[in-house]
Amino acid sequence: MFENTISTAAAEQFYNRLGIGHDRAEVYEGLAKQQGLAALDLRPGQRVLNVGVGTGKEHLQLQAAVSSAGAAFGLDRSPVMLKLAYSRTGAPLCQADARRLPYASASVDRLFSSYMLDLLAAPDLPGLLAEFRRVLKPGGRMALVSLTEGVDWPSRILVGAWKTAFRLNPLWCGGCRPVQLAALVERASFAPVQREVVTQLGFPSEIIVAER
Ligand SMILES: C[S@@+](CC[C@H](N)C(=O)[O-])C[C@H]1O[C@@H](n2cnc3c(N)ncnc32)[C@H](O)[C@@H]1O
């Protein structure tokens, strides 16, 4: 895994500029996100936190799954993304940094975060996972979806090209690089940790499901 990537301020600027254009990524990210959402096993009445809501497409599904008896809330650093997600969902969202969650300890039944951990620097990840664990209730579950290493020849070729582009200029990849998070999640005292890799148009994504 590349240790470093663009700064969080640069990531915020990048996603402010990208805006609704990020929805185009659905053609290679959509399947893995659907699998991550399904693995959360959401029920009406639950409280679910979406970290890095982006344009809010998955948030609509989180809202529907917990129904008006529950609460689907979220955060993002990018004000442009928050505006898009709010116009789509009307959900309670806030501008915050995922590394310091503005929520009480043990206040969340489920946590979802897609394609955000893969754009944070490696030294930030243990603290981020400790924050995820802090806000989850005991027995609470999270699903993390991220770009990962290739698992077959099309995805290995694609990831090889992606890494070359990343080395030349991480901004060409939106700061996003392949990660493998299972060991880190285990070290953050989550259990059990399940990992699955889904590829779509050669783009490999890992889905990590773990419980506090
Ligand atoms: C690749 S997008 C993914 C958005 C959405 N989860 C999805 O799957 O479509 C990454 C999102 O994370 C947000 N983000 C990046 N770094 C962040 C941080 N440190 N704290 C909160 N949000 C962050 C970006 O603004 C952007 O909306």
State pLDDT tens for residues 3-27: 888 899 999 999 999 999 999 999 9
pLDDT of 192:
82
Structure confidence by residue, pLDDT tens digits, 156-195: 999 999 999 999 999 999 999 999 999 999 999 999 889 9
Token pair of 76 as six digits? 């993002």
Atom nearest to 33 CA in ligand 1: 8
Our answer on whether the CB atom of 36 is closer than 6 Å to any ligand 1 atom is no
Token pair of 207 as six digits? 């889905």
pLDDT of 3:
84
Cα(75) to centroid(ligand 1), Å: 9
pLDDT of 2:
86
CB–CB of 148/178 below 8 Å? yes
Our answer on whether the CB atom of 76 is closer than 6 Å to any ligand 1 atom is yes
Our answer on whether the CB atom of 59 is closer than 6 Å to any ligand 1 atom is no
The C-alpha atoms of residue 21 and residue 26 are separated, in whole angstroms, by 10
Exposed/middle/buried for residue 10 (C-beta within 10 Å: 0-12, 13-18, 19+):
middle
pLDDT of 4:
84
Residue 200 has pLDDT above 90, yes or no: yes
Atom nearest to 113 CA in ligand 1: 6
The C-alpha atoms of residue 39 and residue 193 are separated, in whole angstroms, by 12
- pLDDT averaged over every residue in the chain: 96
Our answer on whether the CB atom of 13 is closer than 6 Å to any ligand 1 atom is no
Query: Alpha helices, DSSP H only, in the chain?
Result: 8-18, 26-39, 57-66, 79-89, 125-135, 153-168, 182-187
Mutate to test the pocket of ligand 1, among 15, 17, 31, 118 (most ligand atoms within 8 A of CB): 15
Class of domain 8-211: alpha beta
Mutate to test the pocket of ligand 1, among 49, 75, 95, 116 (most ligand atoms within 8 A of CB): 116
Cα(50) to centroid(ligand 1), Å: 10
Mutate to test the pocket of ligand 1, among 17, 26, 73, 77 (most ligand atoms within 8 A of CB): 77
Structure confidence by residue, pLDDT tens digits, 51-109: 999 999 999 999 999 999 999 999 999 999 999 999 999 999 999 999 999 999 999 99
Helix (H) or strand (E) holding 57: helix 57-66
Q: How confident is the model at residue 115 (pLDDT cuts 50, 70, 90)?
A: very high
Residue 190 phi/psi, 5° resolution?
Answer: -90, 150
Our answer on whether the CB atom of 115 is closer than 6 Å to any ligand 1 atom is yes
Residue 1 has pLDDT above 80, yes or no: no
Token pair of 27 as six digits? 């053609």
